[in-house]
Amino acid sequence: MAALPLATAEVCDANSHLIPCGDLRALHPIFQIYGRRQVFSGPIVTLKVFEDNVLVRAFLEEKGNGRVLVVDGGGSERCAILGGNPVQQAQNNGWAGIVVNGCIRDVDEINGCDIGVRALASHPMKANKKGTGEKHVPITIAGTRICDGEWLYADTDGILAIEMLRTINLSLLETCTKDTEKKESSTT
């Protein structure tokens, strides 16, 4: 499925009825934007690790098929669990994006890659190499629950986790887009 052509703000406005029930959730605005792709979306693959990047690297060596890897690194800011080489590999393997609740390094290299990356910050120290963690499990990042198989949509306004993409009201989105286009054409 192709990326949604609309902004996260428009998705929220057109689907506000999905917010109270939790089918549409906005992650807290704690993430920095990295990589050349500022807008990305795809099915979520979850991973829970702490200051260890062996499983992160292993996932990104697989074919991404437009998926988004969401890594709960426990919010640690003591080392980087993602660096330039795995991000380059993710780009080459067709991952749409990577969201890290933790730190990254090799920022200049990552910013040269055609992939979307979000992380808390950068840190020069490397992670442990023990290979511990949990794959495909529900994770919670800053109070927002994210499950394997849900849909993630990120742009410069924020990051959304969506229970099921088909629950999004596309007709409302189309109306919102037409209204935005009318406003833009009337101001020019």
CATH fold of 22-182, please? Glucose Oxidase; domain 1 (3.50.30)
Name the binding residues: 83-86, 105-106
Q: Name all contacts of 120-125 with Cβ < 8 Å and 24+ positions apart.
A: 120/30, 120/31, 120/32, 120/75, 120/77, 121/32, 121/77, 122/32, 122/80, 123/77, 123/78, 123/79, 123/80, 124/80, 125/78, 125/79, 125/80
Average pLDDT over residues 94-105: 99
- Residue with the bigger pLDDT between 90 and 1: it is 90
Rounded to two decimals, what is the model's pTM?
0.86
Q: pLDDT band for position 6 (50/70/90)? A: confident
Name the binding residues for Mg(2+): 106
Q: Domain-by-domain residue ranges, the chain?
A: 22-182
pLDDT digits (tens, 9 = 90+) for 126-153: 999 999 999 999 999 999 999 999 999 9
Q: Looking at residue 3, what is its pLDDT? A: 44
Average model confidence (pLDDT) for the chain? 89
Name the binding residues for substrate: 83-86, 105
